């Protein structure tokens, strides 16, 4: 692990990130603290008033009225409202994955890589604790924080199971599937006090193969009229557009537009020597200089007609 500047760490992305200097400059600022209001247990207006009475400065992230940005220095886990399950610490971009999946109250939903449960509990909130969510986590020890968050946030429509995601049994067809895959996590990087990033120099080198397997299995579990969302918190095209291209090459999948009005960049048309299917431009790349949160990649997928 070495310390490097943002310009050094992400030099290979200079050609694909517009306003690269602004991107690097934003990485020199702390990651904002975002809190999701859990409407299974609390009301938005009352929760905001309670935070104000505690002297906590906040703003609602337009147009998502359940996400608050609070001043840096707030420690969410120390708040009574957090312990009561009224609030959950979750990056703004992570919330978007659940909103884009758009589960309905009667849906049968699979969260293929669920722990620690931030997105799972958001899906339950959007479904108003109706329907059924199957939350899968391959690592038994990670089921502990998953189940803790389900209980704290008052989720009652979710079953937790433990399978390797790429081998999840093909016993049911799901209306909605979320596959938020293990990734290199580049989007979470911000500089430390010395102005550098802690950098391993190995950006996802062993991950794309697993990510492709997970996405293919996720699609195989999708109902005929279902919707799938593939997401990562990295900028690496090998983990993003290239994985989606593998799906298009091997399954009757189609990339669907995302209707939210949120600042983003489109999916890439090409990377190095690879040219992607034109529909991949409908995917979203979220950069911190456009939306001050964790960097993210999002693809909304359906079955081709």
Q: Convert the pLDDT of each residue in 45-69 to its tens digit.
A: 999 999 999 999 999 998 999 999 9
Q: What are the tens digits of pLDDT across the range 70-122?
A: 987 889 999 999 999 999 999 999 999 999 999 999 999 999 999 999 999 99
Helix (H) or strand (E) holding 253: strand 253-256
Give residue 3's pLDDT: 78
**Secondary structure of the chain: what % helix, strand, coil (to 5)?**
30, 25, 45
Positive/negative CA dihedral, 279, 303, 186, 126: positive
Q: What are the tens digits of pLDDT across the range 163-222?
A: 999 999 999 999 999 999 999 999 999 987 777 787 665 555 689 999 999 999 999 999
Contact 171, 159 (CB under 8 A): no
Contact 106, 20 (CB under 8 A): no
Distance CA 252, CA 257 (A): 17
Contact 242, 299 (CB under 8 A): no
The phi, psi pair for 56, rounded to 5°, reads: -90, 125
Greatest CA span in the chain, whole angstroms?
Answer: 56
Q: Which residues contact 196 (CB under 8 A, 6 or more apart)?
A: 3, 4, 5
Map out the domains of the chain with their CATH numbers.
Answer: 2-31+92-303 (3.40.50.150), 32-90 (3.30.70.1170)
Residue 140, Cβ density class (10 Å: 0-12 exposed, 13-18 middle, ≥19 buried): exposed
The catalytic residues are 233
Which is nearest to 170 in space by CA: 228, 117, 216, 230? 216
Instruction: Give the position of tokens 């009005």.
Output: 261
Q: What are the tens digits of pLDDT across the range 223-240?
A: 999 999 999 999 999 999
Mean pLDDT of 119-138: 98
Helix boundaries (H) for 157-276: 208-220, 241-250
Contact 92, 64 (CB under 8 A): yes
Q: Quick check: 304 pLDDT over 70?
A: yes
Helix (H, G, I), strand (E, B) or coil at 274: strand
């Amino acid at each position: 692990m070495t310390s490097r500047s943002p310009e050094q760490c992400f030099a290979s992305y200079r050609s694909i990130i517009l306003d690269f200097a602004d991107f690097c400059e934003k990485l020199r600022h702390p990651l904002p603290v975002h809190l999701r209001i859990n409407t299974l247990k609390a009301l938005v207006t009352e929760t905001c008033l309670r935070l104000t009475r505690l002297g906590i400065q906040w703003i609602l992230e337009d147009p998502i009225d359940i996400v608050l940005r609070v001043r840096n220095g707030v420690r969410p886990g120390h708040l009574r409202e957090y312990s009561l399950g009224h609030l959950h610490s979750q990056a703004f971009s992570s919330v978007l994955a659940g909103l884009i999946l758009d589960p309905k109250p009667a849906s049968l939903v699979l969260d293929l890589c669920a722990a620690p449960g931030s997105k799972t509990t958001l899906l339950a909130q959007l479904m108003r604790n109706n329907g059924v969510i199957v939350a899968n986590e391959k690592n038994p020890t990670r089921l502990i924080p998953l189940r803790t968050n389900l209980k704290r946030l008052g989720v009652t429509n979710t079953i937790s199971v433990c399978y390797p995601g790429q081998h999840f049994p093909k016993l049911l067809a799901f209306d909605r599937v979320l596959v938020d895959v293990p990734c290199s996590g580049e989007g979470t990087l911000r500089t430390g006090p010395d102005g550098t990033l802690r950098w391993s120099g190995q950006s996802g080198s062993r991950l794309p193969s697993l990510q492709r397997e997970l996405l293919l299995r996720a699609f195989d579990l999708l109902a005929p009229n279902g919707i799938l969302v593939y997401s990562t918190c990295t900028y690496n095209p090998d983990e993003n557009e290239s994985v989606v291209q593998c799906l298009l090459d091997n399954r009757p999948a189609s990339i669907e537009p995302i209707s939210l009005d949120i600042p983003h960049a489109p999916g890439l048309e090409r990377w190095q020597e690879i040219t992607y299917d034109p529909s991949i431009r409908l995917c979203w790349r979220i950069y911190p200089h456009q939306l001050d949160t964790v960097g993210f990649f999002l693809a909304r997928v359906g079955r081709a007609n």
